Structure 1
């Protein structure tokens, strides 16, 4: 499925956790598309006090071999404290590519040497 179609499911999962009595600081995230989906709902949930942060493992900044098809527009203004762990060999976004994206100051990218 497209990331946008999964957004309501992600928001519902957060609400379900809270309904079950899960309290305290909640950090959402995911691997690849899961992280992208989480990043797309993060600011809405952060502004409501539902989450405290976001962690993405191997963010898909663009499709492999298509660096012109960026998936970064919403990341420029992201307000949620975010960690992105990205491998230096990740074909969804290399260190040199990501350096030029103009990401929000709320995002910290941690590079994992030789990761793909």
Structure 2
């Protein structure tokens, strides 16, 4: 399916603006406001590959820069600043694609900031959240406190988690999603780490993983 990627500017409530990339297939079935992680921006190869794969499945994406990434800083924004950027990006997506079902979330930090925004007052128009590697805890420090706010999220949530993710021990992410009941769907990506890389000896490639992630997203989006 052919798609068009358009660079845009997204105005923030602070008066600043950030860069965005709107990838739109013909007659999109949904739009995913796709926030990046703490270590790389919206142009990272993983972000671009997954956005393209989703477009092939009829799903539009709006990638955007958090203010710290726009400014070239390595220090992630405070939660309130990041959450405001998520809300601004969602509002921009709704304006540019009126009537298209809207979902939010993202890779690691971006997903967690989206869930915090949804827990603290909500994101207008968003029907559900997608976490591409939810960062449940720091590496080597297993805990579930970072997920406590998810109890305040009322919309459906999709968790895409690798079995080798050092930031989300599988047993703990299973515990978290089970506790959320019917709101949460957990999809386990065998052999993938937090960056969704797989080892060569697995017999799979990173491209295979991207395709699986896109398939799982598209299937879940169609159901919601």
Q: How many residues align?
A: 113
Partner of residue 133 from structure 2, selected from 16, 33, 58: 58
Task: Mark the CA change 1:20 to 1:31 in structure 2 (over 3 Å): closer, same or farther.
Answer: same
Task: Mark the CA change 1:92 to 1:22 in structure 2 (over 3 Å): closer, same or farther.
Answer: same
Secondary structure (helix, strand or coil) at the match of 1:22 reads coil
Task: Mark the CA change 1:3 to 1:23 in structure 2 (over 3 Å): closer, same or farther.
Answer: farther
8 Å CA contact retained: 1:36, 1:60: yes
Distance (Å, rounded) in 1 between the aligned partners of 2:151 and 2:140: 22
Query: In the alignment, which residue of structure 1 is the partner of 2:145?
Result: 70
Distance (Å, rounded) in 1 between the aligned partners of 2:145 and 2:78: 14
Bigger Cα Rg: 2
Distance (Å, rounded) in 1 between the aligned partners of 2:96 and 2:175: 42
Give TM-score scaled by structure 1 length. 0.84
CA deviation after TM superposition for structure 1 residue 79, in Å: 1.1
Task: Mark the CA change 1:53 to 1:69 in structure 2 (over 3 Å): closer, same or farther.
Answer: closer
1:107 aligns with 2:184: yes
8 Å CA contact retained: 2:107, 2:134: yes
Q: Deviations over 1:8-48 (max 9, x none)?
A: 01101111222335322111110111111111123512xx5
The answer for unaligned runs of 5 or more in structure 1 is none
Query: In the alignment, which residue of structure 2 is the partner of 1:20?
Result: 96
Structure number with the higher strand fraction is 2
8 Å CA contact retained: 1:3, 1:36: no
Give TM-score scaled by structure 2 length. 0.46
Secondary structure (helix, strand or coil) at the match of 1:114 reads coil
The answer for unaligned runs of 5 or more in structure 2 is 1-75, 194-224
CA deviation after TM superposition for structure 1 residue 3, in Å: 5.7
8 Å CA contact retained: 2:174, 2:186: no
Instruction: Report which structure shows greater RCO (CA 8 Å, sep ≥6).
Output: 1
Distance (Å, rounded) in 2 between the aligned partners of 1:31 and 1:103: 22
Aligned alpha-carbon RMSD (Å): 1.9
Distance (Å, rounded) in 2 between the aligned partners of 1:86 and 1:69: 15
